[in-house]
Amino acid sequence: MQVSRRQFFKLCGGSMAGTTIAALGFTPGVAMADVRSYKLLRASETRNTCPYCSVGCGILMYSLGDGAKNAKSDIIHIEGDADHPVNRGALCPKGAGLLDFVHSPNRLKYPEVREAGSTEFKRISWDEAYSRIARHIKTDRDANFVEKNADGVTVNRWLSTGFLAASASSNETGWLTQKFVRSLGMLAVDNQARV
């Protein structure tokens, strides 16, 4: 039987009967002093860093789901990390909204393509996306790769395709991107540091 705290007090009428009712097991869902269970108690805590500015505030993300194979985790709360030497638990108005970033209705969920001249995106599979992009790369690179410049010097560059890298992505992503672009011969490579 679920009895709310308010119902419980009403039931007891402030009389001695209360103790008896409690003894019979008709207690509120949680301890009397509490309205409901503290929701973060059953959440997993994960340490992360705010992705916005360069202060690098530590954050704690709380998610439901116990990590079991079929349990889908879901982040329900984000707050500043009190142990972090820079932010000491604080977040600014930008960082305070991080949960709404994670759950933004404008998160992208599926690979899509907008065909030439079209007015809309259509969903495609990852395999189709990779295959078509790889074909574009190869076609353009094969047609425009420059092995030697006008003086006959080996230059091995590909100038007709460029790449903007993400300055909120990790160093590890950055390194793999660096390998990718240079092995293809790209020089039109920049990140937000340019602007």
Partner 1 sequence: MTNHWVDIKNADLIVVMGGNAAEAHPVGFRWALEAKTRNKAKILVIDPRFTRTASVADYYAPIRTGTDIAFLSGVIRYLLEKGAYNKEYTLAYTNAALLVNPDFAFDEGLFSGWDAETKKYDKASWSYQLDEQGFAKRDDTLADPRCVLNLMREHVARYTPDVVENICGTPKDAFLKVCEYIASTGAHDKTTSFLYALGWTQHSIGSQNIRTMAMIQLLLGNMGMAGGGVNALRGHSNIQGLTDVGLLSQSLPGYLRLPSEKETTLETFLEATTPKALADGQMNYWQNTPKFHVSLMKSFWGDNATAENSWGFDWLPKWDQGYDVLRYFDMMNQGKVNGYFCQGFNPVASFPNKNKVVASLSKLKFLVIMDPLVTDTSTFWKNHGEQNDVDSASIKTEVFRLPTTCFAEEEGAIVNSGRWLQWHWKGADAPGEALTDVEIIAGIFTHVRVLYAKEGGAYAEPIQKLSWAYRDAHDPKAEELAKELNGKALADIPDPKKPGEFLAKKGEQLPGFAALQADGSTASACWIFAGSWTQAGNQMGRRDNSDPSGLGNTLGWAWAWPANRRILYNRASNKPDGTPWDAKRTLIKWNGEKWAGIDIPDFKADEPPGSKMSPFIMQAEGLGRLFALDKMAEGPFPEHYEPFESPIGTNPLHPKVVNNPAARIFKGDAEQLGTKADFPYAATTYRLTEHFHYWTKNVLLNAIAQPEQFVEIGEGLAKEKGIAHGDTVKVSSKRGYIKAKAVVTKRIRTLKVNGQDVHHVGIPIHWGYEGVAKKGFLANTLTPFVGDANTQTPEFKSFLVNVEKA
Question: Using CB under 8 A, which residues numbered 71 to 130 contact partner 1?
Answer: 72-75, 78, 83-87, 90-102, 104-119, 121, 126, 129-130
| 182 near partner 1, rule: CB under 8 A | yes
Would you state the structure tokens that stand for residue 118, as one six-digit string? 């079209």
139-168 binders of partner 1 (CB under 8 A): 140-142, 144-145, 147, 149, 153-168
**Between residues 15 and 106, which has the closer beta carbon with respect to partner 1?**
106
Could you say whether residue 65 binds partner 1 (CB under 8 A)? yes
Contacts with partner 1 by CB under 8 A: the residue count is 118
138 near partner 1 (CB under 8 A): yes
Using the minimum distance from each CB to partner 1, give the nearer residue, 34 or 100: 100
Asked if 4 is part of the footprint of partner 1 (rule: CB under 8 A), the reply reads: no
In angstroms, the CA 147 to CA 35 distance is 72
Cα-trace Rg, the chain:
28
Using the rule CB under 8 A, which residue among 4, 19, 20, 192 binds partner 1? 192
> First and final CA of the chain: distance in angstroms?
62
Output the smallest distance, CB 106 to partner 1, in A: 4
Question: Phi/psi of residue 146, each to 5°?
Answer: -110, 110
Quote the least distance from Cβ 36 to partner 1, whole Å.
23
Residue 17 or 134: which CB sits closer to partner 1?
134
Q: How far is the CB of 41 from partner 1 (least distance, A)?
A: 17
Instruction: Name every residue whose Cβ is closer than 8 Å to that of residue 170 and which is 6 or more positions away in sequence.
Output: none
Per the CB < 8 A criterion, the answer to whether 163 and 141 are in contact is no
- b/e 75-108 (16+ beta carbons within 10 angstroms → b): bbebbbbeebeebeeebeeebeebeeeeeeeeee
CA–CA separation, 88 vs 80, rounded Å? 7
Smaller CB distance to partner 1: residue 10 or 138?
Answer: 138
Window 31-60: residues binding partner 1 (CB under 8 A): 44, 46-58
Question: Does residue 174 belong to the site contacting partner 1 (CB under 8 A)?
Answer: yes
Using the CB atoms, write b or e for 9-32: b if 16+ within 10 Å: eeebeeeeebeebeeeebebeeee
